[in-house]
Structures are given as structure tokens and as C-alpha cells.
């Protein structure tokens, strides 16, 4: 069966009614290859492209992004460029034009790939998700949302409605290493937020993607750099710590060994950029 609800209430009612049998369809860029290639035949498709979740707003300093917002809409948005440039950069580097036109931010999170590019900057910015169901709504921090590859805190009767990005002090950076420049998943990606005062770091957040079963925050690395004067040696120490917190696998895109080597260089580069240090 196919349903195209026209509002969020109608959509969550369908999810409540059909439970595990219902599969949410948004941009389709992750779901449809599984239908085409792996004979996935969802009993019930609930298409949420028409329920009004395509928006980016500023709500008392906090960024509110509708889960149905496409990657393309994230790239050219002035609010995002000002308040969450790392997220816009992650969107810019993802897929190809046609994929970015269809794929959505909510879909990227719900699909829960360890390499989900939009998850890493959202983790680094302490973003939260508004999950809706007929029972109401609940807020789950992005860092508690991912449970494993393809597994999330989302219940069968819930959908991701909105993404909240709190105001971020300082500079945010997103860097991605893929096997090519375009049309590729991350071998490793990193997002950092550093709030600097002169050369001293007041606040630090470091997130890694494609380096563990889920995108992760590297809290030990953050503690290494917080409150200290940032120089090249500290950056390298912090990058080493971040990689020690990761747990990558060998897969078709890279070996764990390579991911650690390249990831360390990428974290160090991101930290230097965020701290404004020439290398």
C-alpha cells in the first residue's frame, strides 16, 4: 500500500496504525536501492514528502530545520551559512546534485549509516531531534539517537520531525575524505567546533564519522584541548586521542588501519582550521 499524507498528524496516525509494517519514504535515496537491489518489498509505504517538513527557521537564536529539508536546500541557505556552516559544507560534499535534490536531512539520520555525513556536524553542534508520534513529541539529543549501524532510538510509530541546532560559539569545521571527490561515502569524516579566545580554547567539540558503529563524539580529545593554549603539538595530541577513542572496521571503502592514519590527519587539520592556525 502507498500513502501520501498531507500533514504530520495524518502521517503519525498511519505509523501508529500500521506499526512495523509501515516504512517511511522521504527522498528515497537510501530506501529505493534496497527495493531495486535487495528485493525489499515494504508492505506499506508512507511518503512524507508532502507533510510540510521542508524549512529552515531561526527560533530565538536556535536553528530549526525540518526533517524533510533536502541536502540542496541546506547548501544555499543564508541562516545555515551563518549559524551552522559545517552542516552546509557536509551537505555540499555529499552525493551528487540529483541525489542532494532528493535526499533529506531526516533521512540521512534515520538511515543511521556510520558514515552519515550530516550526523557528524550535528553531533559536534550538540543538536537535538524532535521525534513525533500520536502520543506527542519527545526530544532526543543526536548523541543518544544512534544505537548501531542502521539502528536508532526511533520507534516504529515515530518520525523525525525537526532538528534543533543550538547557537554555536566559535568556528565549526567539517572535513571529509572519500575515495573520490564526488559521489562517494566517507572513508572518514570529522567535524569540530572550537571557541577560541586569543590562542586559548574555551570550548571544544570533536565528532568523527565512519570510524565506529555510529558517528561518535570524542570527549577525551575534547578534554585534552579545552582551557589550553592551542599549538601544533596540542593539536596532534588531541588528534591522537580522538583516534584512540574510535573503533573503525575494514570494509569495501578502506581498512581500519588506513582510517586511523587518515582520520588522525583529518582531525588535526580540522582543529587547526577551527583554531585559525596556519600549518
Binding site for other proteins (CB under 8 A): 1-2, 4, 25, 27-29, 32-33, 35-37, 41-42, 44-45, 47, 49, 72, 95-99, 101-102, 181-183
Q: Give the separation between CA 192 and CA 171, rounded to whole angstroms.
A: 8
State in angstroms the smallest separation of the CB of 3 from other proteins: 9
State in angstroms the smallest separation of the CB of 178 from other proteins: 12
Q: What end-to-end distance do the CA atoms of the chain give, in Å? A: 57
Q: Are 193 and 172 in contact (CB under 8 A)?
A: yes
Instruction: Rank residues 95 and 215 by Cβ distance to other proteins and give the closer one.
Output: 95
Instruction: Rank residues 117 and 222 by Cβ distance to other proteins and give the closer one.
Output: 117
Instruction: Rank residues 60 and 252 by Cβ distance to other proteins and give the closer one.
Output: 252
Instruction: Rank residues 37 and 78 by Cβ distance to other proteins and give the closer one.
Output: 37
| Phi, psi for 119 (deg, rounded to 5) | -70, -40
State in angstroms the smallest separation of the CB of 78 from other proteins: 17
CB contact burial 128-143 (16+ within 10 A = b; e otherwise)? bbbbbbeeeeeebebb
State in angstroms the smallest separation of the CB of 224 from other proteins: 37
| Phi, psi for 29 (deg, rounded to 5) | -70, -25
Instruction: Rank residues 182 and 247 by Cβ distance to other proteins and give the closer one.
Output: 182
144: left (phi over 0), alpha (psi -120 to 50) or beta: alpha
State in angstroms the smallest separation of the CB of 157 from other proteins: 20
Amino acid at each position: 500500500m502507498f500513502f501520501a499524507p498531507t500533514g504530520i498528524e495524518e502521517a503519525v496516525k498511519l505509523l501508529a496504525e500500521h506499526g512495523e509494517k509501515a516504512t517511511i519514504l522521504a527522498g528515497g535515496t537510501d530506501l529505493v536501492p534496497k527495493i531495486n537491489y535487495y528485493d525489499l518489498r515494504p508492505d506499506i509505504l508512507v511518503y512524507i514528502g508532502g507533510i510540510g517538513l521542508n524549512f529552515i527557521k531561526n527560533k530565538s537564536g536556535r536553528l530549526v530545520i525540518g526533517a524533510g529539508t533536502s541536502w540542496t536546500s541546506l547548501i544555499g541557505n543564508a541562516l545555515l551559512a551563518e549559524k551552522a556552516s559545517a552542516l552546509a559544507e557536509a551537505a555540499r560534499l555529499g552525493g551528487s546534485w540529483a541525489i542532494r535534490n532528493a535526499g533529506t536531512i531526516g533521512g540521512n539520520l534515520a538511515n543511521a549509516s556510520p558514515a552519515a555525513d550530516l550526523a557528524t556536524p550535528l553531533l559536534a553542534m550538540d543538536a537535538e531531534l524532535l521525534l513525533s508520534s500520536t502520543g506527542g513529541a519527545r526530544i532526543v539529543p543526536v548523541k543518544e539517537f544512534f544505537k548501531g549501524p542502521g539502528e536508532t532510538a526511533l520507534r516504529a510509530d515515530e518520525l523525525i520531525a525537526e532538528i534543533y541546532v543550538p547557537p554555536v560559539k566559535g568556528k565549526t569545521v567539517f572535513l571529509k575524505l572519500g575515495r573520490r571527490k564526488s559521489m562517494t561515502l566517507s572513508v572518514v569524516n570529522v567535524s569540530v567546533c572550537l571557541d577560541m579566545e586569543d590562542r586559548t580554547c574555551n570550548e571544544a567539540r570533536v565528532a568523527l564519522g565512519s570510524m565506529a558503529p555510529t558517528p561518535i563524539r570524542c570527549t577525551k580529545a575534547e578534554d585534552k584541548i579545552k582551557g589550553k593554549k592551542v599549538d601544533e603539538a596540542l593539536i596532534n595530541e588531541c588528534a591522537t586521542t580522538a583516534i584512540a577513542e574510535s573503533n573503525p572496521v575494514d570494509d569495501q571503502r578502506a581498512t581500519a588501519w588506513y582510517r586511523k592514519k587518515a582520520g588522525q590527519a583529518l582531525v588535526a587539520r580540522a582543529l587547526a582550521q577551527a583554531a585559525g592556525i596556519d600549518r
